[in-house]
A and B are shown apart, each in its own frame.
Chain A
Amino acid sequence: MIAASRLHVIHEEIASVIQQATFMIVDTAADAGEAEFRPNVSHWAQVEYDGPSQGSVCICADWELIQALSMNMLGIGDTAPVEPGKALDSFKELANIITGRIITLLYGVDKVFRLSTPQYFTQTPLQCSEALVYRFAYDCEGMPLYISLFVHCEET
């Protein structure tokens, strides 16, 4: 189990990472607990990690946020929507960046992990039933972003 104080640090730090990557104003949402986690959205990006521990990180958002974060990451104006393939590439890369930072925060800088290529899903990706799950919620300029951390296997 990850201590609540550590989860709090991760929650806060990842807000800064999202802000730095997307150039958006990002706040931690009121609670990252299960009860408040209501991902009624249909766009998911997942990155699996493998090393001393195994697991995965999923992020989910609605299309409005994916478009907004892509426009910001690419540094283009909001006069026209970003082409869907490009927007999804941005979304998947955000998942990649967040996963890399969560792993560093969770396991430290001495451990070496290998990250999978980010995958896109239109529904919740299947996970190991025995995984420990931790949820984080964010407000990105009024739009919700949810992150789930699945720890499949404890450190060996």
Chain B
Amino acid sequence: MQYRVMIVDDSSTIRDMIEKIFRIARIPVREFIKCGNGREALDILDTAWVDLVVTDLYMPVMDGYSLIREIKSRSEFKAMPVVVVSTEGSVKRKDELKAMGVIDVLQKPFSPEQIRDTLVKSLGVEV
């Protein structure tokens, strides 16, 4: 299976870095869809399905928390897997996000092995 992956981060550097790490990890990706904030992401999700959302937390316009709440509250998106990539390492925050339905929280910078492990364990991605 080839995945459509949405990357949501206000930094173009981080968006490109995440794409690079996915490629190094040999995750089979058909398409990367990149957005600068949660609002842009939701606008795209209204018209196109993605297999995985990778999002930052702090962004202008709409932050990662609001984006996750929207995704998990709407029946058409609820099953969509979300991974958070954040600068923070707080366990409390990680637990909060997992309670919201996030499959994993990775602290930046993360390695290709970390994202591969997350996707293999949580989604059964074959690499």
Check A86/B92 contact, CB under 8 A, given A20-B109, A75-B20, A100-B107. no
Whether, in the assembled complex, B111 has its beta carbon less than 8 Å from a beta carbon of chain A, the answer is: yes
Asked if B108 and A97 make an inter-chain contact with CB atoms under 8 angstroms apart, the answer reads yes
Whether, in the assembled complex, B58 has its beta carbon less than 8 Å from a beta carbon of chain A, the answer is: yes
Whether, in the assembled complex, B1 has its beta carbon less than 8 Å from a beta carbon of chain A, the answer is: no
List residues of B (88-102) whose CB comes within 8 Å of A's CBs.
88-93
CB-CB under 8 A from A115, the residues of chain B are: 58, 87-88
Interface size on B, residues (CB 8 A): 21
CB-CB under 8 A from A109, the residues of chain B are: 89-91
Which residue of B is nearest A51, CB measured? B90
Asked if A74 and B108 make an inter-chain contact with CB atoms under 8 angstroms apart, the answer reads no
Instruction: Count A-B pairs with CB separation below 8 Å.
Output: 69
Whether, in the assembled complex, B14 has its beta carbon less than 8 Å from a beta carbon of chain A, the answer is: yes
List residues of B (36-84) whose CB comes within 8 Å of A's CBs.
58, 60
Report the Cα distance A103→B88, complex, angstroms.
8
Whether, in the assembled complex, A92 has its beta carbon less than 8 Å from a beta carbon of chain B, the answer is: yes
Asked if A93 and B13 make an inter-chain contact with CB atoms under 8 angstroms apart, the answer reads yes
CB-CB under 8 A from A46, the residues of chain B are: none
CB-CB under 8 A from A86, the residues of chain B are: 12-13
Interface size on A, residues (CB 8 A): 27
Whether, in the assembled complex, B11 has its beta carbon less than 8 Å from a beta carbon of chain A, the answer is: yes
CB-CB under 8 A from A101, the residues of chain B are: 87, 89, 107
Report the Cα distance A109→B14, complex, angstroms.
23
Check A97/B87 contact, CB under 8 A, given A17-B109, A20-B109, A20-B111. yes
Report the Cα distance A114→B64, complex, angstroms.
13
Report the Cα distance A112→B107, complex, angstroms.
14
CB-CB under 8 A from B120, the residues of chain A are: none
Whether, in the assembled complex, A89 has its beta carbon less than 8 Å from a beta carbon of chain B, the answer is: yes
Whether, in the assembled complex, A110 has its beta carbon less than 8 Å from a beta carbon of chain B, the answer is: yes
Whole-angstrom distance between the Cβ of A26 and the nearest chain B Cβ: 12
Report the Cα distance A105→B88, complex, angstroms.
11
Whole-angstrom distance between the Cβ of B21 and the nearest chain A Cβ: 9
Which residue of A is nearest B89, CB measured? A104
Asked if A104 and B92 make an inter-chain contact with CB atoms under 8 angstroms apart, the answer reads no
Asked if A110 and B90 make an inter-chain contact with CB atoms under 8 angstroms apart, the answer reads yes
User: Measuring CB to CB, which residues of chain B are less than 8 angstroms from any residue of chain A?
Assistant: 11-14, 16-17, 20, 58, 60, 86-93, 107-109, 111
User: Measuring CB to CB, which residues of chain A are less than 8 angstroms from any residue of chain B?
Assistant: 17, 20-21, 70, 73-75, 86, 89-90, 92-93, 96-97, 99-101, 103-104, 109-115, 117
In the complex, the 9 A-B pairs of residues with the closest C-beta atoms, listed nearest first = A100-B87, A104-B89, A21-B109, A90-B13, A75-B20, A109-B91, A20-B109, A93-B11, A112-B90
